[in-house]
Structure 1
């Protein structure tokens, strides 16, 4: 994607242990500026943990996560928060907030505590609302929105941070198909580098430039969707049979029932 801001977030040989178990075991991820990288793998494969390491929320047991070549701890939490935005699967709040208020939370890393909103803050929020098609919803209560609309607001909040990197953890879960497609169209249109954890292989093939597949905490495949999404890999990683069709780098996956013949 042209127009992506500077910045380079990467993980090199990261390990994350919980007790004796390695949740991640020697994973390297180096997104290219402006590309959309999809993280695939079954539940428990380490996708969310890798995103948390990239965001600086967790520290690796071994290996390093760097931003522009500097280890995240030396960059500082506030500086990282300005440059790296995170969108979780679902966000909840009991506080009554408007859409504009929620989007405005993205400006917190840019202000000192208790300082007033600046013209730059207002501009960033207005731009994020316009970019995500929410300008006409700015005064609406967060609690009146549908699940897909709330996820769109969370992307607007992330965009208001003016980040160079966007991390999304299965943002399409529990959304209707229309909202899934709308949200991913929006995500890949943004002038940022995006790493997104997904369950749906066809959505990953449609929207990601490159895929990294995790299994049991290890990266077992990396490449374009056309290179990665093969019947053999789907069988080995997910334990199911599938037919993969389509020309070029945007394949289509059709899962086979147990009684269906191999193709």
Structure 2
């Protein structure tokens, strides 16, 4: 089996199952969205896929080999990750940050090669940061910092890219720009998202988690139904498909007085 694969992985924290018997196969070039409420296990599953955490049970394989057999350095050459938040107290330029993606490809203390420089230049260009290359990373906006982190991951030249809620705290335009960029990259992507409409727009497949377990998997049209949204998120929604992909409109919860009227059968009187 080629590519990244999680087979019935479990991650236990004390007496709690954070990830419980989840299987996920990544198909080359696809963008897979991880959905679920806070605490559903999305971030933990990403860390299991990246080899940052070891499963309590089950196995994560890369090209058919368990990640511990592949080795951390070889895994880092293949799999890049982008966390929710990135910060550093060190004064770095954007180019310096992007160049961190080349570390898995070099021996310790060896200088950058021409191939390293070319990969960084390409990553800056791909993410629209060429004109920011010599600027301090600390002076970037939130959206630009996220783009710089994706450029760093792209410079790593991975075949698999894992992103943990990269659109958090970004305005709508930057969310759309960022996800358009991710979808255009020639890699297999797993991305944890909260926004169901963004997941429907940019993901080929979805895996929905609740309390650590997979409760649905398939295309956005198959997964994002009013029934599932209410079961997993506890909210009512209408789902339409006029745009070619599901579009979710959330329904406002009933006000307390409306609920009381529904219970008592009282009807307001017009005056």
Q: TM class by shorter-chain length?
A: over 0.9
Q: Is the CA contact (8 Å cut-off) linking 2:208 and 2:215 kept in structure 1? A: yes
For 1:192, which of 187, 192, 195 is the aligned residue? 187
Superposed displacement of residue 248, structure 1:
7.6
Q: Is 1:111–2:106 an aligned residue pair?
A: yes
Q: Is 1:64–2:59 an aligned residue pair?
A: yes
Structure 2 CA distance, aligned partners of 1:39 and 1:214? 7
**2:117 aligned residue:** 122
Q: Is 1:252–2:217 an aligned residue pair?
A: no
The structure with more radius of gyration? 2
**2:227 aligned residue:** 232
Over residues 212-250 of structure 1, what are the superposed CA-to-partner deviations in whole Å (9 max), with x where a residue is unaligned? 000000000000000000000000000000000114861
Q: Is 1:167–2:170 an aligned residue pair?
A: no
How do residues 134-173 of structure 1 correspond to structure 2 at under 5 angstroms?
134-173=129-168
Task: Note the residue ranges of structure 2 that are not aligned, 5 or more in a row.
Answer: 259-271
Structure 2 CA distance, aligned partners of 1:7 and 1:87? 23
What's the C-alpha RMSD, in Å, of the aligned pairs?
A: 1.4
**1:96 aligned residue:** 91
SS in structure 2 of the partner of residue 63 of structure 1: strand
Q: Is the CA contact (8 Å cut-off) linking 2:2 and 2:64 kept in structure 1? A: no
Structure 1 segments, 4+ long, off by >4 Å, are none
- Structure 2 length normalisation: TM-score? 0.93
SS in structure 1 of the partner of residue 38 of structure 2: coil
Alignment size in residue pairs: 256
- Structure 1 length normalisation: TM-score? 0.95
Q: Is 1:205–2:179 an aligned residue pair?
A: no
How do residues 210-229 of structure 1 correspond to structure 2 at under 5 angstroms?
210-229=205-224
Structure 2 CA distance, aligned partners of 1:124 and 1:173? 27
Task: Note the residue ranges of structure 1 that are not aligned, 5 or more in a row.
Answer: 1-5
